[in-house]
Copies of this chain bind each other. A is one copy, B any other.
Amino acid sequence: MRMSEGVEWGIHCCSLLAALDDGETLTGGRLSEFFMVPRTYLLKNLRALSRAGILRATTGSRGGYRLTRPAREITVLEIVEAIEGVEPAFHCSEIRQRGPSGLPTTAYPAPCGIAATMWRAEAAWREVLRGITPGEIVALGRREVPAAQRALTHDWLARANADRA
C-alpha cells in the first residue's frame, strides 16, 4: 500500500504557500521549480487541491495559487483526502456472506467485525492528520529546516513575486 507522491508535494506546497505575504501568489511553474517536481503532474495535484477548496487559483499578471484560508484552518487530512480521495484504504467485499455457510444479505444487519476493525484503525490515522495544520508543520519544521534555507526561501519568495511586479 503506497500513497501517491502527490500527497508529499501537496503538503509541501501548502506549507510554502502558507509563508506568502497577503496578496502574493505562486504559479504552478514556480512551485514545480521550487520543489523540482514534474510540472504537469504537480498541476494535476494543485487542481485537486483547488477543487477541494484548499487553494484558489487566480489569473492575471500577479495570478497564481494561494491558500483559500489561513493555514491554521487547513488540516493535513484535507490535503491528503483531496489528493488520495476519501475512500477507505480497506475495502470490504463481504466475503463472510459467500460460500457454503453464507446466508442471504438480510441476515447481516451489522458491518463485518473485520471491516469494522480495519476502519477503526483508519479512523485513528485520520484523527492524527485532522489534528495538524500545514501552519503547524511549518512551525514543527523550523528545527529541521536549517536557518540558512529559511533565509534563502524567504529571498526566493520575494524575488518570485517581485519579478512580475
Contact = CB atoms under 8 A, between A and B. Distances in A.
A26 B5 CA distance: 41
A129 interface: yes
A21 interface: no
A111 to B, nearest CB: 7
Interface in A83-102: 84-85, 87, 89-93, 95-96, 98-102
Nearest to A95: B35
Question: How often does this chain occur in the complex, in copies?
Answer: 2
A128 B127 CA distance: 12
Interface string A116-151: 111011101111110010000110110111101110
A114 interface: yes
